[in-house]
Amino acid sequence: MTRAFSTTAISTMWRSSITSSSKKLFPPSFSSSAYPRADEVIRPLLSCFQFLSTASPSSSIPTSQPPTSALDPLKLGLGLGGKSDGVRAFASSSATAFDLSSLTSSKARDAVDLARHYGRCYWELSKARLSMLVVATSGTGFILGSGTVVDIAGLCYTCGGTMMVAAAANSLNQVFEINNDAKMKRTRQRPLPSGRISAPHAITWASSVGIAGTALLACKANMLAAGLAASNLVLYAFAYTPLKQIHPVNTWVGAIVGAIPPLLGWVAASGEISLNSMILPAALYFWQIPHFMALAYLCRDDYAAGGYKMVSLLDASGRRTSLIALRNCLYLIPLGFFAYDWGLASGWFCVESSLLTLAISATAFSFYRDRTMQKARRMFHASLLYLPVFMSGILFHRLSDDQQHLAENNSERFPELLSPSRMASEENGNGSEGKNQTRQIAGGSRARPPVAYASYAPFPFLPAPSYIAPQ
């Protein structure tokens, strides 16, 4: 009883002292908005005091009075009696919400990390940079085969389907070469040799994107383009890939694989294979030989460690490797003239293509004369520059359907207007008869002076002259 009385007295004295102190510290004229209230400051102290009072032995407190009855007036005075349960409930709910938010953020972080991991693996399996180069050649072929108007939606569908098929082919290539890639310094960090992804997972990925790409080309382009894509996938994954470990002829088979995408793009746009459609594939085919010969010469040690059969491994001096590269560079020279002569591009492209091909041929000849790593690397860099410049030039100087028809009509009309029959009739003085023959030969059109054609003949890339009929 004495202990309870002393507790009540101490509490009363504590409260009165705190109240008087707060009045002295915070007078009525003082603004309390910038400082905490007094009860907010003392509430933790009272809670601590309550804990000390309830921690006494139960034998010293009468059973007729609860241990905390001495603090009831204090609770009522400061408004703490009904808030303790609310504070505990709020703290419990805050802790639960914090746990849920941390768990959600952790799962989201794990999902992002997983998506980033597999995205990186898919990027490397697809050899994305090489696949984008394949897409660029296919898109160039589509534009060249489109004529006057280019179907942008069809171009996007063709590029998307080509990208998926190329990704599938490159992924299957890495599935079949896991052991070989693990032995090569250049490829040992790929997803499959490094164990970042399993082989069944890679096969599932390759099959999915390959089927999707072929179906996209079949639905949005035509069956011929889809057939070329599927056949190229099979040729690359099931013919070129095993040949790399059997015979050096794999380089030429791989060149065929690289030449098909521009033909695929042309077929997707025009629906047919023509003579003009073979110019860009021929450029891709002959370009790949010096490109891969330089690469095989620079990476001979890696290819030998991986167990691949390359020409450079059977050619210790490098003479045969450099000669093959030089010969195929020279094969590129007439392609610009063919593009102009067949009406695919203007005469400016003939000049530019010839100069470009002579430049890469000069690097190949330099490598042939001095077979060193430096010369091979220079030829390799020149091959990297050749292809984008060639494709950009043929796109810039390409002729539309109207321009091609105009060029064909002029080429047919020019020898007719300067035919021997007309020249003989003018020399014999048979003016009227010569004029009739000229009209019949020219198809009923008015005779035009040959000097006008001679004025533009040295510049065949210029448009044909126009004539105004005399009144």
SS3 287: helix
Q: Where are the domains of the chain?
A: 1-13+39-81, 126-274, 404-456
Please give the average per-residue pLDDT across 18-44, as a whole number: 50
Which has the closest alpha carbon to 335: 361, 302, 364?
Answer: 361
More confident residue, 23 or 337: 337
Q: What is the pLDDT of residues 424-435, one digit of tens each?
A: 444 454 444 444
Structure tokens at 349: 């492209």
Please report which confidence band the pLDDT of residue 144 belongs to, taking 50, 70 and 90 as the band edges: very high
Please give the average per-residue pLDDT across 410-420, as a whole number: 46
Structure tokens at 378: 């220079």
Listing DSSP states for 147-207 in one string gives: TTS--HHHHHHHHHHHHHHHHHHHHHHHHHTHHHHHH-TTTTTSHHHHTSS-HHHHHHHHH
CATH topology of domain 126-274: Tetracycline Repressor; domain 2 (1.10.357)
**pTM for the predicted model, two decimal places:** 0.66
Mean pLDDT of the chain: 77
Please report which confidence band the pLDDT of residue 460 belongs to, taking 50, 70 and 90 as the band edges: very low
Question: d(Cα 207, Cα 234) in Å, to the nearest integer?
Answer: 12
More confident residue, 164 or 108: 164
Question: d(Cα 68, Cα 60) in Å, to the nearest integer?
Answer: 13
More confident residue, 189 or 3: 189
Most confident of 177-191, 281-295, 411-425: 281-295
Asked if 226 and 218 touch (Cβ cutoff 8 Å), the reply is yes
Q: What is the pLDDT of residues 305-360, one digit of tens each?
A: 888 999 999 888 899 999 999 999 999 999 999 999 999 999 999 999 999 999 99
* Single-letter amino acid, residue 116: R
Which has the closest alpha carbon to 308: 321, 299, 298, 320?
Answer: 299
Please give the average per-residue pLDDT across 254-270, as a whole number: 95
Residue 375 scores a pLDDT above 90: yes
Asked if 311 and 293 touch (Cβ cutoff 8 Å), the reply is yes
